[in-house]
A and B are shown apart, each in its own frame.
Chain A
Amino acid sequence: MTALCDLNRFLDTMMPMHMLVGPTGHISHAGPTLRKLLRDDLVGMRFLEVFDIRRPRCEPSMRGLLSLEGRPLHLQFRNGDQTSFKGVLVAQPANQGLILNLSFGISVIEAVGRFGLTNSDFAPTDLTVEMLYLVEAKSAVMEESRDLNLRLQGAKIAAEEQAFTDTLTGLKNRRAMDHVLDRVLDHQMPFALMHLDLDYFKAVNDTMGHAAGDHVLQVVARALIGATRAGDTIARVGGDEFVLLLHGLTDRTRIEDLATHLIAALEKPIPFNGEECRISASAGTTISADYEDPQAAILMDDADVALYASKRAGRACHTFYASALRDIEDEARKTA
């Protein structure tokens, strides 16, 4: 009897979630942590009535249980509690039944919370508490990292907004164009400012999707770069609006040729996923030499007026700004 008490004391300290099952299949002793999980006194109950061995399958008898000696077991209570256990059992000598030890396995966090377990419910050698520490510490660190990532992402978006490049096409953006325009005006260098707007682009977007639209914008950007000189400044300033600053170019014939050439290039069908996207472009140009005191906002607006004159003229064409156009445009704006 003393020997048995010693064994129980020994097992309670080393394995607080163990059970002794006698030769008849009844629980004869349970470790203190296991007793805490089930308020009922386990001792005297049939092991297989308290626990369901989910895997591996075995015959529901003492012989069946003993056939699982040494193998990893997956168990659950039969009382409806969802806690799952890992276990291992060994036969006691001389057909005296078996010893079974349990742990929570991966469901440990839930189980510790549900049963209100503390450090003292685990053997000092058990790493459960260290694992709980680690999970909590890592979660805190992960949260910090996630916050940092969110902030960095926000900063990245802000930086992109402030940058000078249109990320879709690689062209300059409106900010960049404003800077360049201010600079050439400061240096009183002659230039032409062409405002170009795609025709039928919305139809491509609507019928073939945004991916097709994005592709068209990229092809347009390449066409604009291809048709102009390396020193010219080309910006995408809106969804399908572009501004071309043609440095030193004030010859109307050459500008008209360039515009015609550009529009023709943009009217070539653009293949996308086995289909063809068809667009065109309208353009309007104003020339810095036409002004006594050229100012950025006025030039931009005049190029815009010329562009709308092209739109009104049936699209797919180019118009130079003239003050008469402004009167028509003002009239149109009034009626609109």
Chain B
Amino acid sequence: MHGLVNRAIQCFVLDTYGDAAWEDVTRRADLGFNAFEAMLHYDDALTEAVMDAAVGLLGKPRDELLEDLGTYLVSHPTQGAVRRLLRFSGADFIDFIHSLDDLPDRARLAVPDLGLPHLVLRDHTPSRFSLECHGAMPGFGYVLLGVLRAMADDYGALVLLDHQRTQGAVESLSIDVVEEAFAKGRSFELVTAPTGAP
């Protein structure tokens, strides 16, 4: 699994549950080190071991933990880059939903070896969609569910989301946009001011 995925889990546990919890996870998972490198690859078994350790330690179902991870990636202040990169996908939430198929390709442009699952979007009505997630990251649908929840908040949209089923390697999500401009949402500028500027 790509280091970015492992690091996402690491930062999620660290920022949400604290240093001691992460140390406990690395011990339970028998990692032998305490930090993943974002730009290196790791054996998939390590990712599984870390997830199992986190589930065991935090006493939360795996699916819930993955959904929290997705929400964390978009909404936590330390992960601002992910939220920004996702916001480039669409000027409003509906645009964003329509661009979800492109998400793995967008990710690949930035990190060619990330290997996100293939996504297939279907629009049933202008505001009702389903999203299929095909691929080698079991539970990715739950992460996506958390990401979509947080992105809806970010755009200020009122949305009903559900993880409907897992069939083999395919997970299905339903997306029901109740009101696109429900709240104000967070602002997004295409270019951020350089950090050194006065």
Residues of A whose CB lies within 8 Å of any CB of B are 109-110, 112-113, 116-120, 129-130, 132-134, 136-138, 140-141, 144-145, 148, 151
Contacts and interface: CB of A to CB of B under 8 A. Distances in A.
16 contacts: A112-B191, A113-B189, A113-B192, A117-B190, A118-B91, A119-B91, A119-B190, A129-B190, A132-B190, A133-B88, A133-B89, A140-B81, A140-B110, A144-B38, A148-B40, A151-B37
Contact of A133 (B37, B85, B91, B189): B85
A134 B95 CA distance: 18
Interface string B97-122: 00000000010011100000000000
A137 B110 contact: yes
Contacts of B90: 119
Contacts of B110: 134, 137-138, 140-141
Given A133-B85, A133-B88, A136-B85, A116 B40 contact: no
A18 B110 CA distance: 31
A116 B37 CA distance: 35
Contacts of A118: 91, 189-190
Interface residues of B, number: 21
Nearest to B109: A134
Contact of B39 (A120, A129, A138, A144): A144
Contacts of A145: 39
B94 to A, nearest CB: 13
Interface in B145-198: 189-193
A144 B35 CA distance: 14
A136 B88 contact: yes
A235 to B, nearest CB: 33
A130 B88 CA distance: 7
B84 interface: yes
A113 B191 contact: yes
Contacts, number: 56
- Nearest 5 pairs between A and B by C-beta? A137-B110, A113-B191, A133-B88, A119-B91, A144-B38
B93 to A, nearest CB: 13
A5 to B, nearest CB: 26
Interface of B: 37-40, 81, 84-85, 88-91, 95, 106, 109-111, 189-193
Nearest to A129: B88
Contact of A120 (B91, B109, B189, B193): B91
B88 A148 contact: no
Contacts of A144: 38-39
A136 B84 contact: yes
A186 to B, nearest CB: 32
B106 A148 contact: no
B194 to A, nearest CB: 8
Contacts of A120: 91
A107 to B, nearest CB: 12
A1 B163 CA distance: 54
A130 B111 CA distance: 15
Nearest to A120: B91
A120 B14 CA distance: 38
A132 B191 contact: yes
B3 to A, nearest CB: 9
A6 B192 CA distance: 36
A158 to B, nearest CB: 15
B109 A137 contact: yes
Given A113-B190, A132-B191, A137-B109, 19 more contacts: A112-B190, A113-B189, A113-B191, A113-B192, A118-B91, A118-B189, A119-B90, A119-B95, A129-B190, A132-B190, A133-B88, A133-B89, A134-B109, A136-B85, A136-B88, A141-B39, A144-B38, A144-B39, A148-B40
Contacts of A129: 88, 190
Contacts of A117: 190
A144 to B, nearest CB: 5
A112 B141 CA distance: 35
Contacts of A137: 85, 106, 109-111
A153 to B, nearest CB: 14
A142 to B, nearest CB: 10
A148 B191 contact: no
A144 B3 CA distance: 11
Contacts of B190: 112-113, 117-119, 129, 132
B88 A141 contact: no
Contacts of A119: 90-91, 95, 190
A134 B84 CA distance: 12
Contact of A148 (B37, B81, B109, B193): B37
A252 B111 CA distance: 67
Task: Point out which of A110, A129, A144, A145 has the most chain B C-beta atoms below 10 A from its C-beta.
Answer: A144
A144 B8 CA distance: 13
